[in-house]
Amino acid sequence: MSTPSPAPEILAFGEAMTLFVADAPGDLDEIERFQRRIAGADTNVAIGLARLGFQVGWLSRVGDDAFGRYIRRTLETEGLDCRHLITDPAASTGLVFKERAEGGADPRVEYFRRSSAASRLSPSDAEAVDFAAARHLHATGIPPAVSASCRELSWHMLDRARQAGASISFDPNLRPSLWASESEMRDTLNAMAAKADWVLPGLAEGRRLTGLETPHDIASFYLERGAKAVIIKLGPEGSYYRGTLDGRETSFTVPGMAVSEVVDTVGAGDGFAVGAVSALLDGRAPREALERGNLIGALAVQVLGDMEGLPTRALLAELEASLPTPE
């Protein structure tokens, strides 16, 4: 009789979809061939942390179909603990099609996720989760946008992780088209961010959610509501940190890393989250966390696919060792 594996130290949840990436540039209605991958901001971060050696548990639903089996196999191959990945015979796995953009532009995507298996997630799906064993929860603003029951699950995960004493990172990952209104999106995600230790919005997302302009003021908004640190993604310009360090408030910007060619921008923010969150979990200083976030974000945009550029721990160590030492 095999011994059950220990409960995962990091929890993530959301919707993984089967992704079809166009083989060539052009409008999707003209493309004949696609490459199959997987997509989902939450899974991108989960996979990235697993590649760095963390024990990551994935909670979700997939359909009882070929695409669901493909997602499960891919996630397990990446090292994710899928004991809480439910196969739902009454709904299908979500699909997404992505164009091949040129010149560093953001590619257009088309989703087929309405009434998907993952949209049927609810708090009851988390009944068997061992929150006491969890060290950290990573959450995004996508599940609460997908359906009312997914939103209830998001609140449940945040509340249980907080009660158990786990740290929490929250990336708003705005999907405005999935929300009934701008105000509902703003109020819900700001309230969820207030449950987190580390809030990781992009600059445009922070402006949209808070109505404020500067990284300093956006960070103040979330710090006043309970966050311990706010890390704002500035795209190619780098990232901004504001939080408490050694009992004193500190803030700084870390410049981005130059990239010779941008192949695919999708997943850059998730790569940044992998870097920043993993470094903080490793006990690294905030500046080092932003440097690692910028590094992995830069790796993510240089390959085709949402998570293919995320490094292993060995590659990350090699890349970090080659970075110039700050003067």
Active site residues: 270
Range list of H helices, 85-181: 143-146, 148-164
Measure the CA–CA gap between 14 and 44, rounded to whole angstroms. Answer: 11
For 96-119, the DSSP string reads EEEEE--TTPPPPEEEE-TT-SGG
Beta carbons within 8 Å of 44's beta carbon, 6+ residues apart: 267, 270, 271, 274, 306, 307, 310
DSSP lists the bridge partners of residue 37 as 19
- The DSSP element (H or E) to which 239 belongs, if any, is strand 238-245
Q: Which two tokens stand for residue 248?
A: 């004193």
Measure the CA–CA gap between 175 and 229, rounded to whole angstroms. Answer: 23
